[in-house]
Every structure is written in C-alpha cells, then in structure tokens.
Amino acid sequence: MASTILTKSLLGRRLIHSSFSLSHKTPQIFTSLFHGRTFQKIADPIHTSYKTSQWVRCVVGTRANFSTQSLSLNEPVVSVDWLHANLREPDMKVLDASWYMPDEQRNPIQEYQVAHIPGALFFDVDGIADQTTNLPHMLPSEEAFAAAVSALGIENKDGLVVYDGKGIFSAARVWWMFRVFGHEKVWVLDGGLPRWRTSGYDVESSASGDAILKASAASEAIEKVYQGQTVGPITFQTKFQPHLVWTLEQVKSNIEDRTHEHIDARSKARFDGAAPEPRKGIKSGHVPGSKCIPFAQLLDSSQTLLPVDELKKRFDQEGISLESPVVTSCGTGVTACILALGLHRLGKSDVAVYDGSWTEWGANPETPVDSS
C-alpha cells in the first residue's frame, strides 16, 4: 500500500538504481521530489529499531511532565536526555533537518532512512525554499512555508525539536526559519543525532515510508504554491517577523549607517580572502565593517552549544557589544543561524540573518569587498 501511494505521489517517476544499500535488506530506490535526489523505500512494513550501543540508557523516575510552556523560550536548545524523556508526547514533533555541503558527498535523505530519532519527520532544507531564485535554500514565501509544514503534519500548537546529523549545523537554520514565520516553540537538539547515539538512545529506520510520504507531500506543496496551484489543508498559520531576515540592500545600507554589528560565521581564511570560496564565480573577502566569528567557535568538542560565560567571552574577544543590534551572515545562510542561536542563549532574541549571505554578496559585481 505504501509503495503504491508513494509511486503515485512521485508522479510516476521511474525506478533507478543506487550504489547505496543496507547490509540486510534489499531496498527499492525511487527518485524523490527533492531536486532529483534519491531515497530508499526499505521493503519492510515495520519500523526497525537499532541500538546505538550494547546498552540503552533508561530515564527511570525522572520523566518530566511535557509542556512547551515549561521550556524557556530564552533557551534555544534542549538536551538529548530531555528529548528522550518526552519523545512520545502528542503535542511535540521532532524534525531531522540534516543538510551537508556538496563536497561532503553525504545524502541526508538516505542517512535519514537508515537511522533517525524515532518518530522524526524529515525537513528538506533545499526543498522547503524559494523556488524563484538560483541562490541556495533561500527563505520561501509565507504561503509556501505554511503549505510545506502543513503537509508535514505540523500545527501551530506543536512544540518542535530540530536536529541534524553533525551536532549543531543545519538544524539552526530550520530553528531560525520557524522563528521568522512566527513560531517560537522551537528548539535545537544540543549535539544532534551524534549526541543522541553516543548517549545510547535508540534510532529507527524509515521502513514504513510514512515520513517519506510526508516529505514528498511537502515538496509537492512547495511546487504547487510557486506554480499558482491550490494546496491544502493548511494547519500552520504564519506570522512573518521581518526584523529577523535581512536583504542585500539592508546590508549595503548598514556599511554606512552602522546600525548593526555585522558578524560573519565563515572561516577566518575565507573572511580574510586568503582562501577561495567553494562556489565558482564568488569573490573572496568580506563585507566592509563586518567581523568574523567562525561558527565552530560557539561549539565544544562534542558539537554542543557553549555555556553562557564561554559564549560571551567569544564575542567579547572580537570587540562585539551585546548591547548593539546584530546581523549575521555566512556562505549561504546556514551557519549564520548558529551565531543567532548562540546570541539567543545570551539573551539576544532579535538577531537578524542575511539570507543571501556571501553567495549573493560575493557574486554581485557592484558590492564592495574588503580583505585582510
């Protein structure tokens, strides 16, 4: 049944082969709606659980009563222990928002199917994006975002925990996206899937295909909105927060006006123009007047967010006043959101992200560039 529905939802696209396989299953490979990428439908109608170690940690007698009201909106992350204790609560949803740089040659959809946190939905960072620009994973319209997350089964009443396969990376981008569209009940899983697995908690495969069907439906909904077609039902209402997202023109004006501290999350070598940009046709250097704090400096060795005192020290070292408004940027608007996440922990909940970031700025022949 799931295979029949899935085939229809993929609009009859033909089966293709893949070199990716599971050691004990014979998978079926389908072309997904996610921009030509492939995913696997494992030939097994039951979700398969995998132990991440020879033992499983149990939270006995410490289960907290779940309520999104009990979680602080000032704290942007939750621990794996907290999520494990509250995983099955009906008014909370977990999103796998894994995304990787092209040169990493990792497929987030395939990795999701092999192992994800039980019950997690897949959020396609490249798919739930503006379809009218060549810039990567730009923020979609309000209508498109509402249609996509509604297709995933998300409602405004839901509390959301977002994670990724690296620790804290692309999950921060999706945390920011929901906040841009007015949803405050969203948190990043501190340490992500790696921390979950090293803590001994179970993962599962996507054998039923239900989550993949929802992810495909979300991708279809985005396409329909941009094609002017009707979608529905809509279960998620947006409330756009324009102060959280900046355009190229705002960044350009800030060079003169200096109303905001501009922090760049790229590596120091890229910021200084000493290392080439990974994308062709992009100038090297940085926006005049901006400062550099590579996003990795906000994380510890286990890829969890640094505590408040250490975070504050990082910004103090670069001469950044937390009393001033801040805008962040990076290469494509992903790791800039990690800076926003760290600043949120320090009490700055109004940090803007330059969505187009250096890919837009560096490709424009008319934008000024500094290098060190």
Per-residue pLDDT tens digits for 35-79: 343 333 333 322 333 333 322 233 333 333 445 556 778 899 999
Question: How far is the C-alpha of 173 from the C-alpha of 159, rounded, in Å?
Answer: 17
Question: How far is the C-alpha of 251 from the C-alpha of 244, rounded, in Å?
Answer: 13
Q: For residue 114, what is the enclosing H or E element?
A: helix 108-114
Residues 6+ apart with CB under 8 A from 249: none
153, 93 contact by CB (below 8 A): yes
Residue numbers in the chain where pLDDT is lower than 70: 1-70, 206-208
Q: What angle do CA 332, 334, 337 make, to 5 degrees?
A: 130
Of 58, 292, 330, 337, the catalytic one is: 330
Q: For residue 80, what is the enclosing H or E element?
A: helix 80-86
The whole-number pLDDT of residue 31 equals 29
The whole-number pLDDT of residue 311 equals 98
The whole-number pLDDT of residue 68 equals 54
Q: What angle do CA 287, 340, 313 make, to 5 degrees?
A: 90
The whole-number pLDDT of residue 58 equals 30
The whole-number pLDDT of residue 209 equals 73
Domains and CATH numbers, the chain: 72-227 (3.40.250.10), 242-363 (3.40.250.10)
DSSP H helical ranges for 248-335? 248-257, 268-272, 308-317
Q: What is the pLDDT of residues 100-131, one digit of tens each?
A: 988 888 999 999 999 999 999 999 999 999 99
Strand residues in the chain grouped as ranges (E): 28-31, 38-41, 49-50, 77-78, 92-96, 121-122, 159-163, 186-189, 203-204, 245-246, 261-264, 291-292, 326-329, 352-354
Chain-centroid distance, C-alpha 31: 22
Residues 6+ apart with CB under 8 A from 76: 175, 187, 188, 305, 341, 344, 345
292 is annotated as an active-site residue: no
